């Protein structure tokens, strides 16, 4: 299973949103600066995450993106699947336990092997929540003032964390 660069960056952005906190949206500008990518590329990624129901956008001053659920309720598999839609192997179901006998006969051993591996990877990622991989929020707030201001849309000066 190949995980796209978009999926990797999507996970990184989701970790950053989780670290920002529930009531503090992160700006695309801040995320783009943090990950050294263009704003337009990050907007595209965020649109895919929004389409998957993982983030919401708040417009206007103090706006940005935030998680639709708590970090412990979002799995890494959901994030990856927002970018890398699960595909069948040449029209064959990926899950070997649901195959009909004629489908098993028509599968080459390697197709079944790679399909099973994809299933196990997604199963593993389904057991990892966003909260499991998000650093403590205090570490996020120890960055320099410029980075914090970009991530929090300039509202970092008035925030204190404990």
**Dist. CA 148–CA 158, nearest whole Å:** 11
The pLDDT value given to residue 97: 58
Which one has a higher pLDDT value, 11 or 116?
11
Render pLDDT for 127-149 as a digit per residue (tens, 0 to 9).
999 999 998 754 444 444 444 45
**Dist. CA 80–CA 133, nearest whole Å:** 14
**Dist. CA 55–CA 39, nearest whole Å:** 17
What band does 32 get if pLDDT is binned at 50, 70 and 90? very high
Domains of the chain: 5-85+129-158 (1.10.10.10)
**Dist. CA 34–CA 134, nearest whole Å:** 15
Render pLDDT for 59-103 as a digit per residue (tens, 0 to 9).
888 789 999 999 999 999 999 999 987 543 344 444 555 656 666
Does the pLDDT of residue 23 top 90, yes or no? no
pTM above 0.85, yes or no: no
- Distinct helix (H) and strand (E) counts, the chain: 9, 2
**Dist. CA 49–CA 68, nearest whole Å:** 10
**Dist. CA 19–CA 21, nearest whole Å:** 5
Which one has a higher pLDDT value, 31 or 152?
31
């Amino acid at each position: 299973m190949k995980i796209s660069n978009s999926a990797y960056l999507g996970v990184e952005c989701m970790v950053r949103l989780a670290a920002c906190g529930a009531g503090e949206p992160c700006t695309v500008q801040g995320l783009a600066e943090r990950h050294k990518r263009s704003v337009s590329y990050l907007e595209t990624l965020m649109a895919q995450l929004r389409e998957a129901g993982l983030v919401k956008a708040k417009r206007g001053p103090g706006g940005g993106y935030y998680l639709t659920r708590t970090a412990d309720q979002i799995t890494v598999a959901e994030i990856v699947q927002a970018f890398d839609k699960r595909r069948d192997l040449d029209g064959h179901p990926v899950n070997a336990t649901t195959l009909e006998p004629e489908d098993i006969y028509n599968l080459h051993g390697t197709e079944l092997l790679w399909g099973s591996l994809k299933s196990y990877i997604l199963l593993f990622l389904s057991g990892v929540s966003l909260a499991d991989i998000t650093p403590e929020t205090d570490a996020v707030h120890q960055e320099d003032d410029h980075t914090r201001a970009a991530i929090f849309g300039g509202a970092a000066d008035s925030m204190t964390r404990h």
